[in-house]
Amino acid sequence: MPSNPYFRHMKTLSLFILLGFSALWCRAQSVHFSREEFARQYEESRKNIVSYIQEPPQYKGGVDSLHTYLVANLKYPSKALRKNREGKVYVYFVVDRTDGHIRDARILKSTDSVFDEEALRVVLAMPNWIPGKQDGRSVNTSHNIPIIFTLEPVKK
C-alpha cells in the first residue's frame, strides 16, 4: 500500500460515499405506502398552508372594502395616544380553505408593541375572506397586511 497521505483520505472518502449510498438505498427500499396511507398523506398535504398561489385569497369587496373595514374598526390605543405615538404593524394570518375565516394570526414586525394587541384584535375579527385556490381547489393560504396607526393633525 502506498504511504501517500492523499491515498488514505481517498480511502476514507470512498468509505463515507459507500456508506451514504447504502443508507439512501435502505431508505428508498423502506418507503412503500398502501393506497389508504397514500390517500391519508395526500389529504394531510392539502391541509398545508400555501404561500404562492394561482388565485390568492380576497377580502369580500376587494382592497377598498378591506381598507374601509380597518378604518372603521381600529381603535387607537390610549397609551399610544397619550404618548403621541404612531406606528406600523405587519400581521401574518392564514385564510382557512373551508370558509375563509382568519386563523393563526401573529405579529411579523412592529414599530411599537403598544399597537400589536389592537392589530391582532381587528384582524381576528375580520369577516370571512374568499379562500385562495390552487388547481381549482380551495387551500389554506398565508397572507400578511400592514396596519398603519397615524395621528391626524389637530385642526384649529
Q: How many Cβ atoms are within 10 Å of 59's Cβ, its own excluded?
A: 22
pTM above threshold 0.85:
no
Which pLDDT value is given to residue 9?
42
Give the integer Cα–Cα distance in Å for 20 and 13.
10
Asked if residue 77 has pLDDT above 60, the reply is: yes
Q: Which helix (H) or strand (E) holds 66?
A: helix 62-73
Residue that has been written with the C-alpha cell 389637530 in this structure: 154
**CATH architecture assigned to 49-149:** 2-Layer Sandwich (3.30)
The position carrying cell 497521505 is 5
Place of cell 406606528: 87
Q: What is the pLDDT, as a whole number, of residue 20?
A: 35
Task: Compute φ and ψ for 35, nearest 5 degrees.
Answer: -60, -40
Of 52 and 124, the one with more pLDDT:
124
- Predicted confidence at residue 126, as pLDDT, reads 96
Q: Return the C-alpha cell found at 40.
A: 391519508
